[in-house]
Amino acid sequence: MSGASEGRASATDVPAAADERPEPDGSVDDAATPVPPVRPGAAHSDAQLTEPTGALEQGDDVVAGGAEGAAGPMHRAGRYESRGGTLDRVRAYVLVTKPRIIELLLVTTVPAMVVAEQGWPSTWLVLATLLGGALSAGSANALNNHLDRDIDRLMQRTSARPTAMDEIAPRGALVLGLVLGVAGFVWLAVFVNLVAAALATFAIIFYVFVYTLGLKRRSSQGVVIGGIAGCMPVLTGWVAVSGGSLADVRPWLLFAIMLWWQPPHFWALAMKYRDDYAAAGLPMLPVTHGNVEATRQILLYSYLLLSLVLLYIAGAPAGWLFAAPALALTAGWLVFAHRLRREVTVAAAMRLFHYSTLYLALLFVAAAVDAAI
pLDDT digits (tens, 9 = 90+) for 77-95: 444 344 557 898 999 999 9
Q: What confidence tens digit (pLDDT) does each residue in 250-298 have? A: 999 999 999 999 999 999 999 999 999 999 999 999 999 999 999 999 9
Which residues, in sequence order, are CB contacts of 148 under 8 Å at separation 6+?
Answer: 158, 163, 212, 216
The pLDDT of residue 76 is above 50: no
pLDDT at 44: 36
CA-nearest of 172, 163, 36 to 95 is 163
Q: What is the DSSP letter of 207?
A: I
pLDDT at 111: 97
Q: What is the mean pLDDT of residues 6-23?
A: 36
The answer to whether the peptide bond before residue 317 is cis (omega within 30 degrees of 0) is yes
Q: Contact 40/211 with Cβ under 8 angstroms?
A: no
Q: What does residue 81 show for φ and ψ, rounded to 5 degrees?
A: -70, -25
pLDDT at 50: 30
Query: Which residues make beta-bridge pairs with 58?
Result: 61
Exposed e or buried b per residue across 314-334, where buried means at least 16 C-beta atoms within 10 angstroms of its C-beta: eebebeebbbebbeebbeebe
pLDDT at 29: 54
Q: What confidence tens digit (pLDDT) does each residue in 135-160 have? A: 999 999 999 999 999 999 999 999 99
Could you give the percent of the chain with pLDDT greater than 90?
73
pLDDT at 251: 97
Bigger pLDDT: 215 vs 27: 215
pLDDT at 46: 32
Q: In the structure, what pLDDT confidence band is assigned to residue 34 with cuts at 50, 70 and 90?
A: low
CA distances from 115 to 189, 205, 242, 252, 363 (A): 22, 27, 10, 12, 13
pTM (two decimals): 0.78
Q: What confidence tens digit (pLDDT) does each residue in 37-71 have? A: 444 444 333 333 333 333 323 333 333 333 333 33
Q: What confidence tens digit (pLDDT) does each residue in 302-342 have? A: 999 999 999 999 999 999 999 999 999 999 999 999 999 99
Burial label, 45 (beta-carbon count in 10 A; 0-12, 13-18, 19+) = exposed
Q: What helix, strand, coil percent values describe the chain, rounded to 5?
A: 65, 0, 35
pLDDT at 31: 59
The amino acid at residue 68 is E
Q: What is the mean pLDDT of residues 2-9?
A: 38
Q: Contact 92/164 with Cβ under 8 angstroms?
A: no
Domain residues of the chain, as ranges?
249-373
Q: What is the mean pLDDT of residues 161-190?
A: 96
Q: What is the DSSP letter of 33?
A: P
For 51, how many CA atoms within 13 A lie in the half-sphere containing its CB?
19
Q: Give the angle subtended at the CA of 194 by the CAs of 192 and 199, to the nearest 5°.
A: 100
Mean pLDDT of the chain: 83
Question: Where are the extended beta strands (E) located within 60-132?
Answer: 61-63
DSSP string, 214-228: IITTT-TTHHHHHHH
pLDDT at 32: 63
pLDDT at 345: 97
Give the whole-angstrom CA distance, residue 167 versus residue 164: 8
Indicate the fold that domain 249-373 takes in CATH.
Four Helix Bundle (Hemerythrin (Met), subunit A) (1.20.120)
Largest CA distance in the chain: 71
Q: What does residue 288 show for φ and ψ, rounded to 5 degrees?
A: -85, -30
